[in-house]
Chain A
Amino acid sequence: GIQVEQSPPDLILQEGANSTLRCNFSDSVNNLQWFHQNPWGQLINLFYIPSGTKQNGRLSATTVATERYSLLYISSSQTTDSGVYFCAVSPLMNRDDKIIFGKGTRLHILP
């Protein structure tokens, strides 16, 4: 099955810093989504981004489907950005509707 790899696995930054999180996938996908799991365990959908670039405030995401990767940019980090960031993909060749998650990047923003 498809492999979804996220890097780095862990990231510690000072408040105000910028960061780039990466998601690589081994096969073609129908779409890609980014999620943030906050320290209370809630999972929030950040972006639904099969291709191209989207921005939402300090966050933006870019997916280059032909090269099988996506990037999540966080600018001017705040402590509330801490948590785990997951990317999730729906494999193009699947006959079913599975959505597969990577193992996540754990981000810790220091005040």
Chain B
Amino acid sequence: GAVVSQHPSWVICKSGTSVKIECRSLDFQATTMFWYRQFPKQSLMLMATSNEGSKATYEQGVEKDKFLINHASLTLSTLTVTSAHPEDSSFYICSASGPSGYEQYFGPGTRLTVT
């Protein structure tokens, strides 16, 4: 139980284009999902908290107009990186709160490379 999927697993895009990443909770409903970014050999940095049916809450320093988050249903949240630049290249991981509200289950991550 508590499986989170993420799609795509990796993507290469050209500078200036937009990329959408999907995060799904497969066997449970997730009122809250989280988006993290992880650079090589670094920790997971929280980007935003996504609540179903409401606007995402972004962490300080994260541009909400660049990283668009939509949480349209209890099983799906999407992150769109708009006008991507090479410095946006990173490993993006989503997570969803489990049934107890405390445990978080992570998706497999999306490796984004912007050329």
**A and B physically associate:** no
Give chain A's interface residues, CB within 8 Å of chain B: none
Give chain B's interface residues, CB within 8 Å of chain A: none
